[in-house]
């Protein structure tokens, strides 16, 4: 359920994120609930992360991949005492549920429920996000990445999750959708969090080098190319796509890599990145804002090794590499 709210303009939201914190509706993320005795066993054999021993209050990011190591989605898992909850990519819960159920065998005790329509998700991001939330939640904000706590706010049960940082640190505040969700939003705004829109969040996400489902996280790329190294275990047992991913890691040979760019003029997602007149990559996300035109895109590793001799561009727009993304 999306939360209706008047949001700040991009310039104001950008400043607020870098000097304080912003609050963004993230209710387009999918929410799945996994139950059954083998819920963690199945997720362990299906995805890249080592998630088998997650205990209540803990969480982890893990990636579903195809047999050839291409990304299906990145899941943020949160364990309770009797279930595991997963945030999927935007509007992708049904696809993930259907995919996982294909691999449930007769000996598995694994059940899935789609809670997307019943859940409101707010993202809190920025340089001072932890301290602003501390005014509401006290020391409960001191969480390890992807860990969570059940709390109360404005008489409503909420779930505070530490998540990937944007312009600083990041949190999710989740609750049941409905009238209570608006009350929670008002509490957050009252803690001096600036409401921001999709345009501001996406621009800040690009600036922070955070891959997104449907943009950088697609079936065209493997997790290591997306820089999602810490979401991949190289010591656990087999999972779908492991052979390809392990081979690329051991040989140190990635066909392409995710790069964060500064552009001399605005560029568009899907545009071809060129070097010396030849195609070497693709822009996957782009935005224009207070820090100028920024973009994320994949570039062939060989071209990155030749940068002293080549100039990257999109048509006649020059690109300057700010970093090769590795999270």
| Pairwise pLDDT comparison (4 vs 37), residue with the higher score | 37
CB-CB contact of 326 with 227 (8 Å): yes
Q: Which of 12-16, 181-185, 281-285, 287-291 shows the lowest mean pLDDT across its residues?
A: 181-185
Distance separating alpha carbons of residues 73 and 71, to the nearest angstrom: 6
Shared domain for 259 and 281, answered yes or no, is: yes
Residue 121's DSSP bridge partners are 174
My answer on whether 240 and 188 are in the same domain is yes
User: Contact 42/96 with Cβ under 8 angstroms?
Assistant: no
Question: Does 132 share its domain with 227?
Answer: yes
Domain boundary among 206, 239, 254: 254
Of 171, 195, 198, 206, nearest in space to 288 by CA:
206
Based on the fold, state whether residues 245 and 266 are members of the same structural domain: no
Is the pLDDT at 278 greater than 70? The verdict is yes
Looking at the structure, do residues 238 and 151 belong to the same domain, yes or no? yes
Mean pLDDT of the chain: 94
Q: What pLDDT score does 308 carry?
A: 61
> 249 with 269, same domain?
no
Residues 6+ apart with CB under 8 A from 77: 43, 49, 51, 54, 59, 60, 61, 62, 84, 85, 86, 146
Position 6 scores a pLDDT of 64
Co-location of 259 and 246 in the same domain? no
Could you give the number of structural domains in the chain? 2
pLDDT tens per residue, range 119-156: 999 999 999 999 999 999 999 999 999 999 999 998 89
Q: Write out the DSSP string of 197-220.
A: -HHHHHHHHHHHT---BTTTBSTT
Domain residues for the domain of 91 are: 1-254
* One domain for residues 224 and 260: no
- Could you report the per-residue pLDDT of 20-76, keeping only the tens digit for each? 999 999 999 999 999 999 999 999 999 999 999 999 999 999 999 999 999 999 999
Q: What is the pLDDT of residue 2?
A: 46
What per-residue confidence (pLDDT) applies to 5? 54
Give me the CATH number covering residue 282.
2.40.30.110
Query: Which of 254, 274, 305 is at the close of a domain?
Result: 254
Boundary-marking domain end, from 235, 254, 273: 254
CATH code of the domain containing 194: 3.30.1360.120
Same domain for 136 and 6? Answer: yes
Q: What is the structure's pLDDT at 3?
A: 46
Instruction: Tell me, yes or no, whether 299 and 169 share the same domain.
Output: no
pTM of the model: 0.94
């Amino acid at each position: 359920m999306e939360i209706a709210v008047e949001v700040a303009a991009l310039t104001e939201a950008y400043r607020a994120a870098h000097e304080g914190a912003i609050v963004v509706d993230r209710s387009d993320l999918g929410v799945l609930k996994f139950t059954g005795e083998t819920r963690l066993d199945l997720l362990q054999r299906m995805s890249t992360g080592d998630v088998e021993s997650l205990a209540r209050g803990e969480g982890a990011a893990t990636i579903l991949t195809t047999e050839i190591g291409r990304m299906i989605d990145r899941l943020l898992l949160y364990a309770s005492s009797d279930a595991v909850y997963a945030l999927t990519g935007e509007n992708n819960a049904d696809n993930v549920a259907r995919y996982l159920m294909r691999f449930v065998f007769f000996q598995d005790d694994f059940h899935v429920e789609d809670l997307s329509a019943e859940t409101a998700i707010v993202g809190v991001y920025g340089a001072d996000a932890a301290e602003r939330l501390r005014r509401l939640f006290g020391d409960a904000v001191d969480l390890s990445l992807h860990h969570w706590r059940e709390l109360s706010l404005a008489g409503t049960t909420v779930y505070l999750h530490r998540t990937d940082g944007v312009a600083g640190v990041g949190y999710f505040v989740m609750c049941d959708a409905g009238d209570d969700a608006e009350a929670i939003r008002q509490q957050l705004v009252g803690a001096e969090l600036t409401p921001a829109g999709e345009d501001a969040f996406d621009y800040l996400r690009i600036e922070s080098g955070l891959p997104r489902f449907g943009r950088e996280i697609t079936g065209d790329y493997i997790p290591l190319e997306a820089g999602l190294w810490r979401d991949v275990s190289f010591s656990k047992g087999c999972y779908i796509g492991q052979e390809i991913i392990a081979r690329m890691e051991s040989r140190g040979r990635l066909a392409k890599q995710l790069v964060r760019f500064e552009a001399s003029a605005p560029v568009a997602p899907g545009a071809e990145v060129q070097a010396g007149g030849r195609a070497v990559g693709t822009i996957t996300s782009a935005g224009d804002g207070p820090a100028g035109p920024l973009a994320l895109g994949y570039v062939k590793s060989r071209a990155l090794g030749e940068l002293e001799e080549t100039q990257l561009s999109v048509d006649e727009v020059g690109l300057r590499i700010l970093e090769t993304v590795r999270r």
